[in-house]
Structure 1
Amino acid sequence: MPEAVASAASAAALRRQTDHGGAPDISVVIPLFNEAPTVPELARRLSAALDRLGRTWEVVIVDDGSTDGSFDALRAVHAADPRYTVVRLRRNFGQTPAFAAGFDAARGAIVVTMDADLQNDPDDIARVLAAMEAGGLDIVSGWRQDRKEPLLLRRIPSRIGNRVMTRLTGVALHDTGCSLKAYRADVIHNTRLYGNFHRFIPAVASWYGVTVGEVPVRDNAREHGTSKYGRGLMRAPRVVLDLLTLHFLLNYATRPIHVFGGLGIASAGLGLVFGAYLTVLKLVGHQDIGNRPLLLLAILLVIVGVQFISMGFLGELVVRTYYESQNKPIYAVREVLDGALPAG
């Protein structure tokens, strides 16, 4: 199993550092990298949008190793309003680790995520929360129906990725790349992020049996600079690999023998069929098979099949060691109704 981006010890330490009293109703988590010109406007619009909700709130902004003065701007925001928590990472770790650090620091009953460039409109937070409460949902994702990004470099790759993710994971969302999402705290705190899985959190959390919905949101044009976390076609190969990894983890993480064993049986079985065919030619047809490439292919397929099955057995041992050493359950409970029935 891949290593999580944050250990349990570091997560607990971060929560202690950011725990200043009672938990707010809503936590907004924002990863940020080199967005200094946007910070004052981001804080102004966020505060106005959150104050209109009539709930207690906090904003956790994770400075992902910015080098343009973003942290100084964030320091000023925090000094003006202590409801803004700033987590500064030592270097640029990437968007998924930045989100993970923000989730570890978040204390709200509902955790909302969004980007720092204001392409996600802070006023749409109310719309996402309303959809969550109306449907009793665990996760609500924003759906940017009128995107302002380039068609070829961003929108077409995004549409393809959304369809592939729906097919592989079974989580039907029109816009998995929209960072404006809302999560129940128990869902997000029990979801470990790996690699670049931040865009697939609803799919990762689907293992727990969550309910997922989406709501149309606005997509504003970026006012300052360009995207700092990858661009369109440049990140497409990484997204495809992440999707394949996610599909494997969701479906076969606890039973790798079903993958490798199936491939092994298919390979070895095909090799045995070829071998049987050559045997018939030798014994019945009295033909020379020693120089036939099919003989080498049959032997190779049997050897590869045995190796695949052996990999499946080793995978089963690794999975059992992983779950048993951490006392990690292979199930998730939504609720329990217990207690003796009243006497009749």
Structure 2
Amino acid sequence: MDISVVVPLFNEEESLPELAAWIKKVMEENNFSYEIMMIDDGSRDNSWKVVRQLQKENPLIKGIKFRRNYGKSAALFCGFEAVQGDVVITMDADLQDSPDEIPELYRMIKKDGFDLVSGWKKKRHDPVLTKNLPSKLYNWTVRRMTGIKLHDMNCGLKAYKKNVIKSIEVYGEMHRYIPVLAKWAGYKNIGEKVVIHQERKYGVTKFGLERFVRGPLDLLSVTFISRFVKRPMHFFGILGALIFIVGFIAAGYLGVQKLILLNQGIRGHLVTESPYFYIALTSMIIGAQFFMGGFLGELVSRSSSERNNYQIEEKSY
């Protein structure tokens, strides 16, 4: 199979028929073998009924329905697990991503040899203050922290080699950082394509102000996990050892200073009366805790295996 299109959706009943017809038209014009995987992320409207109706019209449409809303990352994870195409393309269900971009994205993966191609909505039809400016700041920060030179990290329109999506684990809110996850999984040939950003035709955006808080936290999380999940001792152990050594040196200095005064016959103040004694003691305790945290992290080394155990109510292939 040439292409799998993964479409996460939440309350998008109006746009789905048009999107499915558009994708089908593009695929048939280019003679692609394909499948469309629609993941209903706990929609409260008639989205799943629309998906089931579309399946009757086009058997190449497949569906997964969540019992409740888990988020875009969960939808992508389950979609990635199920698809079989050589090239996997993700796009949002709101018609702001154009299926006409699919042939070129496919060519960039198959002919140019990219592992991942991310869309770049160079001209956006979004409010400047609430979306455009925060998006530019966010993307600049991610570029600086990860070294991945993409202008639009969070664009929903992306293309992947099949091996890429089978090698990464998307959870929480990590859909924003799939290029980062891919890079740390060893897929470093990451490209970018300017894509058309269309105005929303139906419904309203599903992302609120909370993304401004979750985004930076998720970036720190994915950066830390990518670098240290296999070797937590390298972070916690080294940091703990440094803090412990600083505290030990400070405590040693106070002790030596007290001995020198006693040797000179000067009684002086008690060591425990100095605030530096408690700072040194606290540093040694914290340093030891960090070190033990790193040691325990080495033993655990991985998070729970049930992290992506989502309650899927129904599957329809």
Normalising by structure 2, we get a TM-score of: 0.88
Unmatched runs of 5 consecutive residues or more in structure 2? 306-317
The answer (yes or no) to whether the contact 1:111–1:182 under 8 Å persists in 2 is: yes
Aligned residues: 298
Are 1:251 and 2:227 counterparts?
A: yes
What does the per-residue CA deviation read over 1:150-190, in whole Å, with 9 as the maximum and x for residues that have no partner? Answer: 22222222222223322333322111110100111121112
What does the per-residue CA deviation read over 1:214-271, in whole Å, with 9 as the maximum and x for residues that have no partner? Answer: 110011111112112x22x421221111111111121111111111112112211221
Q: Report the RMSD for the aligned CA atoms in angstroms.
A: 1.9
1:302 corresponding residue in structure 2 = 284
How far apart, CA to CA, are the structure 1 residues paired with 2:139 and 2:27? 30
How far apart, CA to CA, are the structure 2 residues paired with 1:321 and 1:182? 28
How far apart, CA to CA, are the structure 2 residues paired with 1:167 and 1:262? 24
What does the per-residue CA deviation read over 1:177-206, in whole Å, with 9 as the maximum and x for residues that have no partner? Answer: 101001111211121222221221121121
Residue among 83, 86, 95 paired with 1:106: 83
Residue among 254, 259, 264 paired with 1:278: 254
Residue among 192, 200, 215 paired with 1:214: 192
The answer (yes or no) to whether the contact 1:169–1:250 under 8 Å persists in 2 is: no
Q: Name segments (4+ residues, structure 1) moved above 4 Å.
A: 320-323
In structure 2, the CA distance between the partners of 1:44 and 1:320, relative to structure 1 (3 Å rule), is: closer
1:317 corresponding residue in structure 2 = 299
How far apart, CA to CA, are the structure 2 residues paired with 1:91 and 1:321? 23
Unmatched runs of 5 consecutive residues or more in structure 1? 1-23, 324-344
The answer (yes or no) to whether the contact 2:118–2:157 under 8 Å persists in 1 is: yes
2:205 corresponding residue in structure 1 = 227
- Within 5 Å, give how 1:44-123 maps onto structure 2: 44-123=21-100
Amino acid across the alignment from 1:277: Y
The answer (yes or no) to whether the contact 2:98–2:197 under 8 Å persists in 1 is: yes
In structure 2, the CA distance between the partners of 1:151 and 1:201, relative to structure 1 (3 Å rule), is: same
Where 2:170 maps in the other structure, the secondary structure is coil
How far apart, CA to CA, are the structure 1 residues paired with 2:68 and 2:294? 38
Normalising by structure 1, we get a TM-score of: 0.82
In structure 2, the CA distance between the partners of 1:300 and 1:158, relative to structure 1 (3 Å rule), is: same
How far apart, CA to CA, are the structure 1 residues paired with 2:119 and 2:110? 15
What does the per-residue CA deviation read over 1:286-325, in whole Å, with 9 as the maximum and x for residues that have no partner? Answer: 53133221111110001111111111111111128999xx
How far apart, CA to CA, are the structure 2 residues paired with 1:273 and 1:159? 46
Quick one: higher RCO (CA 8 Å, sep 6+), 1 or 2? Answer: 2
